[in-house]
Amino acid sequence: MKIVKFFLLIILGASTSCTNNTVQPEETAIELQFLHNVNGDPLELDNIKYTNAVGQTYSIKTVKYFISRVTLHRTDGADITIPDIHYVDIRDDATLTYELSEKIPYGSYSGISFVYGLVPEDNVTGSLGLEIDRLMEWPVPMGGGYHYMKLEGDYNEAGNFFNFHSGSLDGVDYAIHVDLPNSAFDANTSKLNVGLVMEISNWFKNPVDWDFAYWGSGIMGNADAQATVQKNGTDVFSVSFPSSTL
């Protein structure tokens, strides 16, 4: 009888360990792909072919920015916020796709939100490493931290530059908490590709038609300009779900 009990225990132990090894949590990896449009079409860099709402022609030469704190909203009300900060440079292909550092459980999600720029606790000079400091540092005398975005180009003629740089100014935060419209999805595959589209022309309209000549070539120290960028930026981003993989 003792021998029977012994083998029963072994079988029980083995079956328990098998169960633990085979049942994996069902999770989805989220890969973001950053896309940049003007008037609905893919951006063509270095070409003064676009026209803003006040009739000025313009080109785009630089698009560098941060997104952070991507949040996946579950239909059951639970939110999953990924504490990542991602830097995007349209001229650096390596930055144009990015897999979130944490997977999310299978289930139904009501939408996606994120922060354009950095929340104050992330926006600390030197905290993102020297490589990012070189590219995006915001001077300490203007409040420190990082540029949220460098959007640059010509207007009216080549060499007539605008620097549409946004960031927090003197302690006032001008980041944008973006709730992506039409971003509900079901996580039921191992990987979900999410296209994050920046409609660049929207930075220059709604509610304020941006006049490059009025605001001047540089706006970093102008609180009104930073507030206007923040207002205009609320409808700049949208989402697409190009495909998913099992």
Partner 1 sequence: MNYKTAGGIFLLAIAMLSCKSDEQPAYTPTSYDLQIPEGFPEMEIPEGNPMTVEGIELGRKLYYDSILDQNQDRACATCHVQQRSFTSGPDVLPHVNLGWTYNWLWKGDVQGSLEDIMEFEVQHFFFTNLDNLKSDTEYPELFKKAFGTDEITYKRIEMALAQFLRTVNSGNSKFDKVQRGEAQFTNQENLGFELFFTERGDCFHCHATAFFTDGLLHNNALDANPDPGHFAISGDSLDYGKFKSPTLRNIEYTAPYMHDGRYATLEEVVDFYSEGLEKSPTVDPLMKQLSKGGVQLTDEEKAALVAFMKTLSDPDFIQNPEFSGIF
Residue ranges in contact with partner 1 by CB under 8 A: 61-62, 126, 129-131, 133-135, 137, 139-142, 152-154, 157-163, 217-221
Shortest CB 43 distance to partner 1, Å: 15
Specify the length of the chain in residues. 246
DSSP 8-state secondary structure symbol assigned to residue 226: H
By C-beta, is 43 or 197 nearer to partner 1?
43
CA-based end-to-end distance of the chain:
49
Token duo for residue 46: 């270095």
Nearest to 52 by CA among 180, 238, 232: 232
Compare residues 42 and 141 and give the one whose CB is closer to partner 1.
141
Of 106 and 161, which CB lies nearer to partner 1 in the complex structure?
161
Name the minimum Å distance from CB 232 to partner 1: 20
Shortest reach from residue 221's CB to partner 1, in Å: 5
Nearer to partner 1, 159 or 242 (CB): 159
Q: Minimal distance in Å, beta carbon 24 to partner 1?
A: 35
Minimum CB separation of residue 220 from partner 1 in Å reads: 5
CB closer to partner 1, 50 vs 109:
50
What is the nearest approach in angstroms of partner 1 to the Cβ of residue 208? Answer: 20
Report the distance separating Cα 142 and Cα 226, nearest Å: 12
Taking the least distance from each CB to partner 1, the nearer of 32 and 136 is: 136
Alpha carbons 1 and 138: distance in angstroms, whole number: 77
Q: Indicate the residue among 113 and 163 with the shorter CB distance to partner 1.
A: 163
How near is the Cβ of 108 to partner 1 at its closest, in Å?
44
Whole-number Å distance between alpha carbons of 7 and 10? 5
